[in-house]
Amino acid sequence: MILCFIQCDILKMIIKRITLHNWKNFQKCDVKLHERCFIVGANASGKSNFIDALRFLRDISKQAGGLQSAVEERGGITKIRCLAARKNPNVSISVELGEPDTEELTWRYSLDFVHTGGGVIKNQVKIQSEEVYYYPENVYKLNRPRETKEDEDTLKYTHLEQPNSNREFRPLQTFFQNIEYLNIIPQLVRESALVTHFGSKDDYYGRMFLKKIANKNEKTIKSYFKKISDFLVLAVPQLKELGLVKDEMGVPHLEVRYEHWRAKGSKQQEPQFSDGTLRLIGFLFALIDNSGVTLLEEPELNLHSGIVGRIPEFIARVLRQKKQSRQIILTTHSYDILSNGGVSADEVLVLQNTSEGTTVNRVSDLPEIRHILEAGLSMADAVIPATKPNHIEKMSQYSLFP
CA distance 65 to 348: 31
Each residue's pLDDT tens digit, 155-183: 999 999 988 889 999 989 999 999 999 88
**According to the model, what pLDDT value does residue 155 have?**
92
Q: What is the topology classification, in CATH, of domain 2-179+292-397?
A: Rossmann fold (3.40.50)
Task: Please tell me what DSSP assigns to residue 389.
Answer: P
Q: Who has greater pLDDT, 154 or 397?
A: 154
DSSP string, 34-102: -SEEEEEE-TTSSHHHHHHHHHHHHHHHSTT--HHHHHHHTT-HHHHB-TT--S---EEEEEEEE-TTS
Burial 245-261 (b: 16+ CB within 10 A, else e): eeeeeebbbbbbebbee
Nearest C-alpha neighbor of 158 from the set 169, 134, 139, 180: 169
Distances (CA, A) of 202 to 14, 63, 181, 199: 23, 11, 10, 9
**According to the model, what pLDDT value does residue 286 have?**
86
Task: Give me the residue spans of the domains in the chain.
Answer: 2-179+292-397
Each residue's pLDDT tens digit, 112-151: 999 988 777 788 999 999 999 999 999 999 999 765 677 8
Task: Provide, rounded to the nearest whole percent, the portion of the chain with pLDDT above 70.
Answer: 88
**According to the model, what pLDDT value does residue 1 have?**
44
Each residue's pLDDT tens digit, 134-145: 999 999 999 997
Nearest C-alpha neighbor of 190 from the set 255, 278, 77: 278
Each residue's pLDDT tens digit, 202-221: 666 777 788 888 889 999 99
As to burial, measured by CB atoms within 10 angstroms (0-12 exposed, 13-18 middle, 19+ buried), residue 54 is: buried
Q: Who has greater pLDDT, 261 or 19?
A: 19
11: pLDDT strictly greater than 70: no
Each residue's pLDDT tens digit, 56-111: 999 999 877 899 999 999 999 999 999 888 778 899 999 999 998 888 999 999 99
276: pLDDT strictly greater than 80: yes
**According to the model, what pLDDT value does residue 5 have?**
44
Q: Is 93:20 a contact under the CB 8 Å cutoff?
A: yes
